[in-house]
A and B are shown apart, each in its own frame.
Chain A
Amino acid sequence: GAVVSQHPSRVICKSGTSVKIECRSLDFQATTMFWYRQFPKQSLMLMATSNEGSKATYEQGVEKDKFLINHASLTLSTLTVTSAHPEDSSFYICSARDPLAGVDTGELFFGEGSRLTVL
């Protein structure tokens, strides 16, 4: 099946620095990817929709200048947490759909997640 990979799986940074997380679709081209964040014991919260070649669409309450999303190719989307603070510490997950995966049923493929810890 389709594979989505994230990197890094874990990152620790100092407060005030920026961190980039990559999301790659390994065996398919993804025109659209989604970014979620998840706090401990909570559900996934959709942050933004990443569109190849155009600006990302952010969910209400998500700061677009804080969470920069770039989807420069059909296999790569990046999330940059700018000027990170301890409250940005979370588990970040990306997902993508395979537009050629047989019947288009809305199935999403998720990455392994990236745990960010801001000190």
Chain B
Amino acid sequence: LAKTTQPISMDSYEGQEVNITCSHNNIATNDYITWYQQFPSQGPRFIIQGYKTKVTNEVASLFIPADRKSSTLSLPRVSLSDTAVYYCLVGSSGTYKYIFGTGTRLKVLA
């Protein structure tokens, strides 16, 4: 099971772009990288998923370098409501037994 490492916490201001990097040095060939967002007292919510290069959706972008040993979640123009814990998970079909790392506690300030 691929282990992930993220910064424990980050602070940002409203309107700024936030980049959260996750290290996953032992990612397997079939593994996808998935990011989740969790608010207090709620279950994690899917943000974005990718395999390589760049993926973008309506809320975030995910950058994955060629060696896939890390990934960066980019949140454009954050708002106060983006204050949450962000987890990156690495896994693939047949391997849904995810081990959560520490996650990154993002605090957006006014």
A interface list, Cβ under 8 A from B:
1, 4, 6, 32, 34, 36, 43-46, 49, 91, 93, 95, 97, 104-113, 115
Contact = CB atoms under 8 A, between A and B. Distances in A.
Interface size range of chain B in the complex: 20 to 34
Contact of B34 (A34, A46, A106, A115): A106
Interface stretch (B12-20, B62-70, B76-84, B89-97): B89-97
Contact of A110 (B31, B32, B45, B92): B45
A40 to B, nearest CB: 9
B44 interface: yes
A45 B100 contact: yes
A113 B38 CA distance: 11
A108 to B, nearest CB: 6
A44 B96 contact: no
Interface string B88-110: 01011111111111110000000
Contact of A105 (B42, B49, B97): B49
A115 B41 contact: yes
Contacts of B49: 105, 107
A93 B96 contact: no
A110 B41 contact: no
A95 B51 CA distance: 22
